[in-house]
Chain A
Amino acid sequence: MRIEDHPVLGKFEKGQKVRFSFDGKSLEGFEGEPIAIALRSNGVLIHRYTARRNEPRGVFCAIGRCTDCIMVVNGQPNIRTCVEPLKADMVVETQQGRGPAKESEVSHA
């Protein structure tokens, strides 16, 4: 999926090659590029399943507007992966519904 040699833009400048985890699998991407781009280059298009109808969703606007591409990143839900830069060893997970609640949101009553 990566464009190796673009007729107008030539080669794309990218950060260092890093590994990250996606749903337990180890994948490769470039540091600093949006998580969504690293995922797409690995053929991953489904980012989450909706809360009520359990429907798949992926990237839609790619500029951080629509929030369709949100995922769980390093345990934190609702991260817009189309604008969140990839870092080495990030733990990225497909988000189910609204994602895991934060400890502060869980009632222990």
Chain B
Amino acid sequence: MLRYEMICVGAGPAGLAAAIEAAKNGVQVVVFDENDRPGGQLFKQIHKFFGSREHRAKERGFNIGQAFLDQARETGVEVTLNAVVLGIYENGAMNVMIGDQVKQVRAQKIVVATGAAENMVPFPGWTLPGVIGAGAAQTMANIHGIRPGNKILMVGSGNVGIIVGYQMLQAGSRVAAIIDAAPKIGGYAVHAAKVARAGVPFLMSHTIKQAHGKECVTGATVIQVDSSWQPVAGTEKEFEVDTICIAVGLNPTTQLLGMAGCKMTHVPTLGGRIPVHDLDQETTVKGIYVAGDVSGIEEASTAIIEGRIAGLAIAHRLGYMDDGTFRKEREKQSQSMKGLRSGSHGERRAKAKEYLNAIMPAAI
């Protein structure tokens, strides 16, 4: 059995940040990722990030991703790709499938940074080829250089819906409309304004009634909803589109944590069922840490800071950092986080995280 001081599951922004921070302080780290390239969803983010300069705002996600990979290499972080973690067992034991071989490994500390999956909304016709996740549209256009469709209906006006909507324009597709059952646009106003200026109509208080087509999507019927989310008869609108993108939020990928016995709780603001964790990102199972979307849906920038905190905590617990330095470093990251969890969107998330930290106070 291969033994490591720290194993990180997921080479996205949270996982890489945790690995780099720990390795910088002397921890021996390996990162497993099931994909054939590292970076998680960072390389699909071609828009400029928000926040202050220290959060690398105004930089595009893929540049941040590249910088992370360089840093990981410099600090000696070992990243193993095409490696699927199948299970986490007692005392840090883990099964990982690399290629078609299953290996047993063990770590003193584990960071689960498995991210999130897209939510779906079912409607008649939703299984037709041409109905895709907004993330799928982003992957096709920004990674593989192919237009998902020529004319797109975007369902969901959160940041994902708006940003991917704009990216579809950049890819050369037409966006027929962005619809949302909610009465107000969910995403940041700056992004929404940019898409609106490009001529994309927003239809608020509208939901999708049906996708049309026999073999593939040929159109969609959209209908208005009232204040109790009920469809209003006679308000149907028809769209001729070949692609329908679903952008109705994300849910944390927590299966490994559930299996490891981590206590879970339901926090709607953070995307649903998430692991209870303390200020150091440690779960109720000692030695298992979480960072990024798996610990509550936020953003890449917050995921990076959560990763750093987990990495610092692990370096401290393994004896690579004294109490004083750890407290100081953690405080620095917490302050940086405060800046990101401000404003109307951030404050709700800050409150939700405080609620979690109140359930489980930090160890030191």
Contacts and interface: CB of A to CB of B under 8 A. Distances in A.
A63 B216 contact: no
Contacts of A9: 46, 142, 145
Contact of B133 (A1, A7, A56, A60): A60
Interface in B123-179: 127-133, 135-136, 139-142, 144-148, 170-172
A63 B136 contact: yes
Given A9-B46, A46-B215, A58-B216, A40 B146 contact: yes
A56 B146 contact: no
A65 B335 CA distance: 36
Interface in B93-135: 117-118, 127-133, 135
B191 interface: no
A3 B172 contact: yes
Contact of B135 (A41, A61, A85): A61
A62 B170 contact: no
Contacts of A47: 129
A34 interface: yes
B146 A46 contact: no
B127 A55 contact: yes
B60 interface: yes
Given A3-B146, A37-B146, A59 B135 contact: no
A62 B130 contact: no
A3 B145 contact: yes
A45 B216 CA distance: 7
A61 B147 CA distance: 15
A55 B129 CA distance: 10
Interface in B242-293: none
A6 B132 contact: no
Interface in A27-54: 33-34, 37, 40-41, 45-47
B129 A61 contact: no
A24 B216 CA distance: 21
Nearest to B126: A60
A14 to B, nearest CB: 7
A2 B146 contact: yes
A33 B128 contact: no
Contacts, number: 83
Q: Which of B144, B146, B171, B216 has the most CB of A within 10 A?
A: B144
Contacts of A34: 144
Interface in A66-94: 68, 82-83, 85
A107 B127 CA distance: 33
Contact of A3 (B60, B128, B131, B141): B141
A56 B117 contact: no
Contacts of A62: 132-133, 135-136, 139-140
Contacts of B128: 56, 58
Given A45-B216, A59-B136, A61-B135, A3 B129 contact: no
Interface of B: 34-36, 46, 60, 117-118, 127-133, 135-136, 139-142, 144-148, 170-172, 215-216
30 contacts: A1-B146, A1-B147, A2-B146, A3-B141, A3-B147, A6-B170, A7-B170, A8-B60, A8-B170, A14-B145, A34-B144, A37-B144, A37-B146, A41-B146, A45-B129, A45-B216, A46-B215, A47-B129, A56-B128, A59-B132, A59-B140, A60-B131, A60-B132, A60-B133, A61-B118, A62-B132, A62-B139, A63-B139, A64-B34, A64-B35
Q: Which 4 A-B pairs have the closest CB atoms?
A: A58-B129, A12-B145, A62-B136, A45-B129
